[in-house]
């Protein structure tokens, strides 16, 4: 047997290759290759980034990795505007559901106001907090 080692120094290119390999494996099992990024930028009148959303569509689902709005602009419905635009695009791509995670100290109430429901909770992550798994029918 060959001598293998675990290396903690992984390049950006290698991360991409690992992702590509898992996508190839998933395709070999499902026959579906529809993973596509869904990213939006929220900009002010000068073109400065003040918020945005990072996500992807795949298997008929919209997965939100991150939704951020600059702190001084929160509460003014800009986050909701970004979320609704992303959900609209996801529906146009054929998605019927959306899912995400959020911490107790992040945006649970925001997502609930926008129709998301908790379907799982990871307690004490971080300690004395929780990570919520949320979903919504689009």
Domain boundaries, the chain: 42-137
pLDDT at 82: 98
Q: Measuring CA to CA, which residue among 96, 107, 104 is closest to residue 69?
A: 107
Q: What does pTM read for this prediction?
A: 0.89
Tens of pLDDT, residues 62-116: 999 999 999 999 999 999 999 999 999 999 999 999 999 999 999 999 999 999 9
- What is the rounded distance in angstroms from the CA atom of residue 86 to the CA atom of residue 62? 9
CATH number of 42-137: 3.40.630.30
Question: Are the C-beta atoms of 64 and 99 separated by less than 8 Å?
Answer: yes
């Amino acid at each position: 047997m060959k001598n293998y080692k675990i290396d903690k120094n992984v390049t950006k290119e290698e991360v991409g290759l690992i992702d590509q390999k898992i996508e190839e494996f998933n395709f070999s099992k499902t026959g579906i290759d529809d993973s596509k990024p869904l990213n939006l930028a929220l900009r002010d009148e000068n073109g400065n980034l003040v918020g945005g959303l990072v996500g992807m569509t795949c298997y008929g689902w919209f997965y939100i990795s991150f939704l951020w709005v600059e702190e001084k602009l929160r509460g003014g419905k800009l986050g909701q505007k970004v979320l609704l635009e992303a959900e609209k695009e996801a529906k146009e791509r054929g998605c019927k559901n959306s899912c995400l995670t959020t911490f107790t100290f992040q945006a649970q109430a925001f997502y609930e106001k926008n129709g998301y429901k908790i379907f799982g909770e990871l307690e004490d992550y971080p300690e004395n907090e929780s990570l919520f798994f949320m979903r919504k029918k689009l």
